[in-house]
Amino acid sequence: MASERFTAALNAQIAREFAAAHQYVAIGAHYAAETFPQLSEFFHRQAEEEREHAMKMVNYLIDRGAQPDIGQVEAPRQSFADHVEPIALALEQERTVTVRISELFAIARETHDYLSEQFMQWFLEEQVEEEAAMGDLLAVAERTRSVPMLLEEYLARETPGERPGD
């Protein structure tokens, strides 16, 4: 069984992963309403990915004999000043998740829960990709502040965050 401290921290992260998915759905809906289909689809894919992360954590706890505690999800932010603001929010969210995932890794190591440490390794690697993708998207969004459709064109051409072989 995973350590109690790790289990409690992972349960808190599960709620944050679902909250991130919820926020990304809201961002995707915002972009859909603003007629930015590429941005909408990008964030809806991100939402599904965050949900998959949460479920991976839920299943890990079950496999280790611990009880998942899904927790509550607060209402997401739904209105934004321009096409750049949601992406800046998403990058900040990803940076916060990186800190939390690193804390989980440290808890696993401190409690000598080597299986959980190994489990968290995948998430550490994933966060490098997530931050890079949002950082790149934000950089392009800021450069296209006056002509947001150029960001749509960028997304139609590129798939930020995808690595070869994905």
The confidence band for 136, taking pLDDT boundaries of 50, 70 and 90, is: very high
Specify whether the CB–CB gap between 124 and 116 falls below 8 A: no
**Is 78's pLDDT higher than 70?**
yes
Q: What is the pLDDT of residue 7?
A: 96
DSSP annotation of 90 reads: H
> 68 or 163: whose pLDDT is higher?
68
Q: What is the pLDDT of residue 17?
A: 97
As a whole-number percent, the residues of the chain with pLDDT over 90 amount to 91
The CATH class given to the 4-157 domain equals: mainly alpha
Q: What is the pLDDT of residue 2?
A: 80
Mean pLDDT confidence for 119-147: 96
SS3 category, 75: coil
Specify whether the CB–CB gap between 160 and 138 falls below 8 A: no
Mean pLDDT confidence for 55-76: 95
Q: What is the pLDDT of residue 123?
A: 97
SS3 category, 133: helix
Quote the CA–CA distance of 126 and 105 in Å, as a whole number: 13
Quote the CA–CA distance of 22 and 10 in Å, as a whole number: 18
Tell me the average pLDDT of the chain: 94
Q: What is the pLDDT of residue 115?
A: 96
As a whole-number percent, the residues of the chain with pLDDT over 70 amount to 96
pLDDT in tens, 5-62: 999 999 999 999 999 999 999 999 999 999 999 999 999 999 999 999 999 999 999 9
pTM of the model: 0.92
